[in-house]
Chains A and B, each alone.
Chain A
């Protein structure tokens, strides 16, 4: 019985130590995840910006006028 108790205590002590190490690095881990999410957010914003620029290129007065002239020529 005392041997069993010894094993249990050792097991839990080891688990606590491992968990303590895990907690110590939590700050760094969260920081990295935050950086990763920020990068992803920036990437998505840029993707949206690219789409917006494409749209602006299609609906600006010069582009519309050009398409209008081309369709007139085709007719």
Chain B
């Protein structure tokens, strides 16, 4: 009887365990046997055109504590303190004050010995994380941008190509032994793929030339901001693109050097401005594509090219410039910047930068031809460069023009452009009138070094203006601006430079009209005139006129462009 009773009890127990508790023990055994490992992909690198690293990711080890399994935080902290070179009190505080019972970050380390030693302490673990590095710091910050703490792009190329750079994650499920060591792969969900690399057209050396010169001049004139672009006119490749003020992508702080500020309690006397770091999200954008402004005289060569191509003016005729005072019904009064002029040829209008001469050229062109010509040169629409945040600028359609418009637009008022639009327009001129599309991403490369996408667009077909007109404007008129006119500070010994200055009043924000004391000083140039290798645009916003050093494009911007051209052409070996 006893035997039968025992047998029945055992059977009942087996049935209970199998039927009622089966799921529970199955679940427990699954947890015991299985280990899950989430594999995060390495974010792709960003390189300059010569393969120098602009952004890359590397793994760092983070030592963390699991507060819920630590019974005696003080002992653990003392043990860990000697491993990670931290105070025991600090470690204890981090463990006790952690809001998460399963995770308290202690320290990031790079030493493998520290990691192994930390793993041996109960309740302490080591986690691998990807960290983004920007070896060039401020130099290309406005182009490359930066990522968030969880490695998502927030600005610049990091944002624009976030999907390609991120790669794809995978999750592996392993069978694990009693020591939690993986002994067999059970399942893999997702394919682990590291992010692809991106090669830019930017040359870090030319970028350094441009940034150095621009910073010096902006500091010298206490300017609010500045931009500089260097481009290859034949291909549209952007070799350098500087936007100041900029920032350090690792800390997001910017130096206040180029920003005019009021002194604070003697702070400016105590420290040089470049040592003062501030957090200003305004510095994150690339002003080359996000800021529009009225360009002023710098747009005159474009309008002259349109007029010559349309046949409304010719190279030899004289245009009477009203001795500096031109008024008429429907367009108000136009005057010159300094002195009045009598009869000028088209070339002389550009060399002397006559507003009245340009107004008359605009009147001859008329609304439609002027508008269509500017549209063909790319104004009023995005360039389409591979960076986020580009704006279109402002070119109103002819039906919205007033009587003033056809006389003002030719000398750069009533039209808003971005710096990149200006560069495109002058690349077209320097490229014999052929359309050029500026671009900044050269190629996308996979982890084996194979180019997966060549980003260079096919060369466009067709002319915006005739090659003869383009060549004349560049080699005669714009070269004349540098040799005899307002751009004479840009002359170089070894190359014939061509260019155009611009000094644009900034429109007032509180009322109608323009400010008398705030300007954008610009200069666009290229060299050599006979076969342009580079186009450089420099625009400096609000140089401080009170310093008495000048404020015009010819004084403020042209020396910067000249120095950039000189260094760039020497570096490129152009004769």
Contact residues of A with B, CB < 8 Å? 27-29, 31-32, 35, 42-43, 46-47, 49-50, 52-53, 56-57, 60-62, 65
Contact = CB atoms under 8 A, between A and B. Distances in A.
Nearest to B57: A49
Nearest to B137: A62
A50 B207 contact: no
Nearest to B208: A61
A56 B135 CA distance: 6
Given A43-B59, A56-B53, 12 more contacts: A27-B184, A28-B183, A31-B182, A31-B184, A32-B183, A46-B59, A56-B136, A60-B136, A61-B205, A62-B139, A62-B208, A62-B211
B139 A53 contact: no
B58 interface: yes
How many residues of B sit at the interface, in one of the four size bands?
20 to 34
A50 B185 CA distance: 30
B176 to A, nearest CB: 9
B368 interface: no
A53 B53 contact: yes
Contacts of B135: 53, 56-57, 60
B112 A43 contact: yes
Contacts of B182: 31-32, 35
Interface in B48-68: 52-53, 56, 58-59
B355 to A, nearest CB: 40
Interface string B24-63: 0000000000000000000000000000110010110000
B461 to A, nearest CB: 37
Residue of A42, A53, A60 with highest tally of chain B CB at under 10 A? A60
Contact of B58 (A32, A35, A53, A62): A53
A31 B204 CA distance: 45
Contacts of A43: 59, 112
Contact of B110 (A31, A50, A52, A57): A50
A27 B177 CA distance: 13
Dominant secondary structure at the B interface: mixed
A63 B184 CA distance: 48
Given A28-B177, A32-B183, A49 B139 contact: no
A56 B184 contact: no
A42 B41 CA distance: 12
In the A-B complex, list the 7 residue pairs whose CB atoms are closest, starting with the nearest: A28-B183, A61-B208, A56-B135, A57-B135, A62-B139, A46-B59, A56-B53
A50 B184 CA distance: 31
Contacts, number: 61
A18 B434 CA distance: 82
A5 to B, nearest CB: 39
A65 B208 contact: yes
Contacts of B175: 28
20 contacts: A27-B184, A31-B182, A31-B183, A32-B177, A32-B183, A35-B181, A42-B59, A46-B58, A49-B56, A49-B58, A50-B58, A52-B53, A52-B56, A53-B56, A56-B52, A56-B136, A60-B135, A61-B204, A62-B137, A65-B212
Interface of B: 52-53, 56, 58-59, 110, 112, 133, 135-139, 175, 177, 181-185, 204-205, 207-208, 211-212
Contacts of A28: 175, 177, 183-184
Residue among A29, A49, A52 having the largest count of chain B Cβ atoms under 10 Å: A49
Contacts of A57: 135-136
Contacts of A56: 52-53, 56, 135-136
B287 to A, nearest CB: 20
A35 B135 CA distance: 32
Contact of A61 (B59, B133, B177, B207): B207
Contacts of A60: 52, 135-136, 139, 204
Contacts of B204: 60-62
Contacts of B211: 62
B409 to A, nearest CB: 40
Nearest to B53: A56
Nearest to A44: B112
Contacts of A29: 183
Given A49-B56, A53-B53, A61 B139 contact: yes
Nearest to A64: B208
A47 B138 CA distance: 25
B185 A31 contact: yes
Contacts of A27: 184
Most central of B56, B135, B136, B137 by chain A CB within 10 Å: B135
B86 to A, nearest CB: 21
B57 to A, nearest CB: 8
B237 to A, nearest CB: 18
A60 B136 CA distance: 6
Nearest to A50: B58
B453 to A, nearest CB: 24
Contacts of A42: 59
A49 B139 CA distance: 21
A63 to B, nearest CB: 8
B1 to A, nearest CB: 41
Nearest to B112: A43
B207 to A, nearest CB: 7
B56 A62 contact: no
Nearest to A56: B135
